[in-house]
Structure 1
Amino acid sequence: MIRLHHCPQTRSMRTLWLLHELDVPFEVVVHPFDKSLRQPEYLALNPAGRVPALEIDERRLFETGAITEYLCECFPEAGLGRMPGAEERADWLVWVHFAETVSQHSAALTQQHVMLYEDAMRSPIVTKLEAARLGKCYAALEARLSGRDYLLDGGFSAADISVGQAIYMARHFAPLEPFPALLAWYERITARAGFQASLPKPGEALLYARPFYPPIAPPA
């Protein structure tokens, strides 16, 4: 039995996409993005009170990087991982975990634009700096993807899923258009059925009410 605890448009979407690509039976429990994640019942699954949490074969896992590695090792026949000893193993690990480098900046911007409800609480400096840091992440990916269809020469993998979902969130704060190789890659991987199946369903509450949030202008 595999059960994913998920909030739409959050990091748990990374695990949801991976499960669809693995093509294994699983169920999804959708949670609201609110204080209910701090309840004792949920903290027993993820002590940080965040998503994802994954229940699999009597185990409880949290942290998307760890979940990605574990699932790819459980289902190696899908070819989405690079097992220990494989030539691309080191590169695969680097890019799977680079997703969190991207996501930390998106998380800071999500807090500024979405979680802080009053304009006076938001920082023009933070939003400008974090958007610029996303641009540096984009530049690193642009260099990697120039001349490649996927992050690894061996083809599509969970590294593309991890980074692709991070970019899905980051696009709300920094545009991809100045980075043509990155944009082409993103369009390529998000056309996949697994990504489309991981998008929010009609009626589900969205984390992002707008498609794009520009940096906050300083007070006049």
Structure 2
Amino acid sequence: METFFYWFDHLGVAVFAISGTLLAFRKNMDGFGVVVLASVTAIGGGTVRDLILDLPVFWAHDPTYIYTILVAAFGTILWLRLRDYIHQKTLLIADAFGVSFFTVMGAQKALEADYPAVVCVVMGTITACFGGMLRDVLARDIPMVLKSELYATTCIVGASVYVLLAPYTALTALLVGGLVTLLLRLGAIRWQWSLTVFQEHGDGHR
């Protein structure tokens, strides 16, 4: 099972590296910018999680994560060279898959370290959201997590599902928690689901 989690984690890193590369392409960045944006997106959230949990930073102790980022980034570059344009929705979908992978992997790592359930949910959300926030800030975009469509909420729900199911069956918890996160995020992209708290009033209201 540990081997499965390990390669599942690499898959999440690769997907988020692809997401960062796609945004770098849209912003016309050079090769160095592509690597920076891909790396920040792929390992930013996990790095913050490990620092908060006082755990060894995963990629510093296993350089194969760096190789995963480079392979994913340059593979995406080769694919993009055949295209003149990448649609914004492609970036959103790639990001949604990365969010779903990292939500459950972040919660799983905190649970494995015997942290309380609520901390596991928070760590899953941080792992999934923070890398994308750094990516968008560096690219001078409004972070997706701050836009109206459901984003962090999908991570909270997915991580909660994982934490609830994990004591019974780890693999099912991983798959169901990730799928719930993915479907909620894709639904939010498709139908603009949001949790609106503040709304503008008409000119005649104060």
TM-score by length of 1: 0.29
Q: Pick 1 or 2: higher relative contact order, CA cutoff 8 A, min separation 6.
A: 1
TM-score by length of 2: 0.31
Which is richer in strand?
1
